[in-house]
């Protein structure tokens, strides 16, 4: 069942492609719908990599575990852990922070 949306024109404009992807990622209304979209968009390894980064961000934010402890417990490379920590704590994008805070607000008793 095809929706009535404008047909995209071929593009190499990276910013426009990312904007379109972001719009698509905002469409799922549930975790199940998001899982289906991610399954179509990504390889199983890409999904696992994204999930591991998110898990590391949550561990860095919500525990006192060292990078080495996180590596030992999850198998995620220390390079990835350092990168996630940098984006969580230093980079101006604040994507991890916004998502963690939004989840905390929607589930205040989850802490």
The region, left, alpha or beta by phi > 0 then psi within -120 to 50, assigned to residue 75 is left
| d(C-alpha 80, C-alpha 86), whole Å | 10
pLDDT digits (tens, 9 = 90+) for 48-58: 999 999 999 99
Kindly report the pTM of this predicted structure: 0.85
Range of the domain at 74: 43-111
pLDDT digits (tens, 9 = 90+) for 4-46: 677 889 999 999 999 999 999 999 999 999 999 999 999 999 9
Residues 49 and 103 in one domain: yes
Residue 5 included in any domain? no
- Tally of domains in the chain: 2
Structural contact between residues 78 and 69, judged by C-beta atoms closer than 8 angstroms: no
């Amino acid at each position: 069942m095809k929706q009535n949306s404008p047909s995209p024109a071929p593009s190499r404009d990276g910013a426009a492609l990312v904007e379109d992807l972001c719009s698509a990622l905002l469409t799922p209304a549930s975790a199940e719908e998001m899982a289906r979209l991610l399954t179509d968009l990504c390889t199983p390894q890409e999904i696992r990599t994204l999930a591991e980064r998110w898990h590391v961000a949550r561990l860095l934010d919500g525990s006192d575990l060292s990078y080495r402890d996180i590596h030992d417990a999850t198998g995620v490379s220390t390079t990835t852990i350092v990168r996630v920590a940098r984006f969580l704590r230093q980079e101006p994008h604040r994507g991890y922070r916004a998502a963690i805070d939004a989840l905390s607000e929607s589930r205040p008793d989850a802490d």
